[in-house]
Amino acid sequence: MLENNTKQQIAFVVMAATRSVFRNLRMQPLSSAVTTQRRFLNLHEYQALEIFAKHGVNIPKIAVVKHIEELDSVADQFDGDVVVKSQVLAGGRGLGHFKENGFKGGVHVTNSREQLKNCAENMLGKTLITKQTGEAGKPNNFLMLAEKFTIKDEKYFAILMDRGAGGPIMIGSKVGGTSIEDIAEADPSAIIKVPVDIMKGLSKETALDMVTKMGWSGDQASQAADCVMGLYDTFISCDCTMVEINPLAELDDGRVLVCDAKVGFDDNAFFRQQEIFDQRDITQEDPRDVEAAKWDLNYIGLDGSVACMVNGAGLAMATMDLLNHCGGSPANFLDVGGSAEVGQIKAAFEIVENDPNVKSVLINIFGGIMRCDVVAEGVVQASQQLGVTKPIVIRLVGTNVDEGKKIIKDSGLAVYPEDDLNKAANLAVKLAAEA
C-alpha cells in the first residue's frame, strides 16, 4: 500500500492531468503557464517570513546565513541569545540529526558567539535527517538566525480556500503550538471558522471580531488584527492556497507576532508570481521529479522496482495497483498524457534508465488521444540513443496500434510485446525479480 502523503501527491497530479485532458478536448489554446503541471510550491521558513513582512505582518527579527564566512557579520545584527534554525523543507527539524557528523538537532538556542559558530559549522552544508525526510535526508544549504524571545500566550490561525464557503475561510483557536487536529479532537468547539467574502475582502472589524473570539483583548487584539489583515493580504496578493500560523503568539514584552508558518502557493498562478516562484529550491526535491517537470511529464518517483510508463492518470493508477496485485511494486507514477511527443517519451526513458531501483519497465498505452506509433517511435529512439539495458514489456492498444507494433518489431529491440495487460504486468514483475 502507498503511504498517505504519496497518495495525496498522486491525487494532485491525477487532477492536474485530468484538467489538461479536458482542456485539450475543448481545443482551447494553452499557454506554457497552464500546461506545465507542478505541485504546490513550498518555501523555506525564512522565505515565507520575508513575504509576510512585505505585507505588514509582524515577524521576529531574522537573518539568513548562506556561507559560514558570513556568520560573524550576520550575527552582529543580534543582541543576546540567538536561535539558529536549519532550513530544509521538512518537519521535525528540532529532533533531527545530520548524516555526515551525527550532530543532534536542526534547531538550537545559542548564548555565545563560540556556540553559534560551532552549531553553524556542524549544520550548514550538511544533510539533515528527520522523521519526514527518511534516511536520505535533505541538504541544509541555509541557516536562519532569529532573536530569542519568550512566549506568553499562543494561538492557532490559518486561511485557506473553502468550497462550502465559496471563498477564503479563516480558522482560529485559542490554543496554539500543537496540531490543530489534536485541538479539534479534544474540543471541537475550540475551532473558530469565519468565512470572508472574496469580493469585499477582509475588513478591520471582521479581523478584530476574529481575534477577539480567539481570546485576544486590548492592545494585543489590535496587534493580532493587524497581523490577520496582513496575512489575508498575503493570501490574496500572492495566490496562496493556504497560510497556516502556529503559533500566532503574544510575547512577554507585549508584542504579537508570527512565530512559525506553513504557506502554499497556487502553481496555476506562477506566471503572476514569478518573484516568488524564482525562490523554489530544487535541491529539496527528488531530482527525478525536477527533470520530469522540465518535459511536462506527470511524474512522481516511488521506491519500487518496476517502472511504469502509461498514458492517462486513471490507467496509470490501475497499472500501479495491478503491479502490486501481481506481487511487484511500482517505481513511479508516470502519465505521459494524451499529447506527448517523441522527445518527452525519450526524456521519460532517461529518468527511468538512471533510476538504480528500476529493474524492469512496463509500458501500457491505450491509443485514444495518444497514438501508439508515437510511443513506439519514442521507445525505439530512447533505447537506441540511451543504450537502455533494462527489460521492457510493452502493451499497445488503440489508435495506430498496428503501426506501433511494426515500428517495435522492425527495430530489432529486445522488448517483450504483450497484448494482455494481466500477462504484461506479471511478466514485468517476473523480469524485475530476476534482474
Backbone φ, ψ for residue 151 (5° rounding): -85, 130
* Rounded Cα gap, residues 400 and 367, in angstroms: 7
Cα-based angle 292, 241, 46 (whole degrees, multiple of 5):
80
d(C-alpha 293, C-alpha 10), whole Å? 14
Q: What is the DSSP string of 380-431?
A: HHHHHHHT--S-EEEEEEETTHHHHHHHHHHHT--EEE-S-HHHHHHHHHHH
Burial class (CB in 10 A: 0-12, 13-18, 19+), 188: exposed
Residue in 46, 154, 156, 377 annotated catalytic: 156
CB 368 within 8 A of CB 399: yes
E strand residue ranges, 48-190: 62-65, 82-86, 97-98, 107-110, 127-129, 138-139, 143-147, 151-162, 167-173
CB atoms within 10 A of CB 340: 24
- Tell me if residue 156 is catalytic: yes
CA distance 358 to 308: 10
Give the separation between CA 24 and CA 338, rounded to whole angstroms.
9
Catalytic: which of 50, 244, 285, 403? 244
> Cell 529512439 sits at which residue?
381
Secondary structure E strands in 94-238: 97-98, 107-110, 127-129, 138-139, 143-147, 151-162, 167-173, 191-195
CB 213 within 8 A of CB 133: no
147 catalytic per annotation: no
Name residue 174's amino acid: K
* Nearest one of 63, 99, 103 to 83, comparing CA atoms: 63
Does an H or E element contain 333, and which? strand 332-335
Placement of cell 502509461 in the chain = 310
CA distances from 72 to 100, 103, 111, 410 (A): 24, 21, 14, 67
The set of catalytic residues is 156, 244
